[in-house]
Amino acid sequence: MIRINLLPIRQTQKRQTVQQQLLGAAGLIIAAVIGCIVWTAAVSSTADELKGQIAAKNNELKQLDKIIGEVNEFTAKKKELEDKLQIIDQLRKGKTGPVKALDDLAREIPNRVWLTKVEEKGGSVTFEGQAVDHEDVSSFMKSLQKSKYFTNIVLGFSKADKADKSLGGAQLYEFKITCRVNYSA
């Protein structure tokens, strides 16, 4: 007997194959979409995490800038106070320095030397006076050199003066000495 199959089996198989391929392709597309969504969520989560870290670092930076500003302010105040202390120290030395320098001068001046004029201008002192002889003038200059207050001692002149009648006609020598004075020594 002859059998005739009227059912389109090949077409049905082709349809089933096409349907399976379409379902497989749709499954791949859905898997790809889900993969993209998961990847996007992961990247978005990482980005949010990094934005949070950036915000935290910016807040920390603002706090550090505030601290740096305070440190700079304290440093400026410290320098200002140090300058004031230095000025006070200079004033203290300027107040007691001349007294100590003149006291040192009074102790070191030889007996046969008399000062007739002491003048100070801008840290330079000029001594004018009389002495019995040149050796006394030299001795006075040596005593000035020993002093910690006087430097750069220069003899301007030393010359014989007229005989003084009150000293029994003894010959006196006039002199002029200039030097630098440092009251803070």
Cα 122 to chain center, whole Å?
A: 30
Q: Is residue 154 part of a domain?
A: yes
Neighbours of 105 (CB within 10 A): 20
Cα 29 to chain center, whole Å?
A: 68
pLDDT digits over 69-121, tens only? 999 999 999 999 999 999 888 777 767 777 888 888 888 888 888 889 989 88
pLDDT digits over 110-167, tens only? 888 888 998 988 888 899 998 888 888 888 889 888 888 888 888 888 888 776 655 6
Distance separating alpha carbons of residues 143 and 104, to the nearest angstrom: 10
Do 104 and 115 lie in a common domain? Answer: no
Q: Is residue 2 part of a domain?
A: no
Q: Is residue 49 part of a domain?
A: yes
What is the band of 173 on the pLDDT scale with cuts at 50, 70, 90?
A: confident
What is the band of 63 on the pLDDT scale with cuts at 50, 70, 90?
A: very high
| Confidence at residue 98, expressed as pLDDT on a 0 to 100 scale | 79
| CA distances from residue 59 to 11, 50, 52, 110 in whole angstroms, order as listed | 70, 14, 11, 76
Which distant-in-sequence residues (6+ apart) come within 8 Å of 172 by Cβ? 130, 131, 132, 160, 161, 163, 164
Residues in the chain, total: 185
Do 82 and 118 lie in a common domain? Answer: no
Q: Is residue 26 part of a domain?
A: yes
What does the pLDDT average to over 16-31? 91
Give the CA count within 13 Å in the CB-facing half-sphere of 180: 5
User: First-to-last CA distance in the chain?
Assistant: 143
Pairing of strands 113-121, 124-131: antiparallel
Domain count, the chain: 2
Q: Rounded to two decimals, what is the model's pTM? A: 0.51
| Confidence at residue 97, expressed as pLDDT on a 0 to 100 scale | 74
What does the pLDDT average to over 42-46? 92
| Confidence at residue 185, expressed as pLDDT on a 0 to 100 scale | 64
Do 17 and 95 lie in a common domain? Answer: yes
User: Above 90 in pLDDT, residue 57?
Assistant: yes
Which of 72, 93, 108 is the last residue before a domain boundary? Answer: 108
Distance separating alpha carbons of residues 160 and 134, to the nearest angstrom: 9
Which of 74, 108, 142 is the last residue before a domain boundary? Answer: 108
Q: Is residue 94 part of a domain?
A: yes
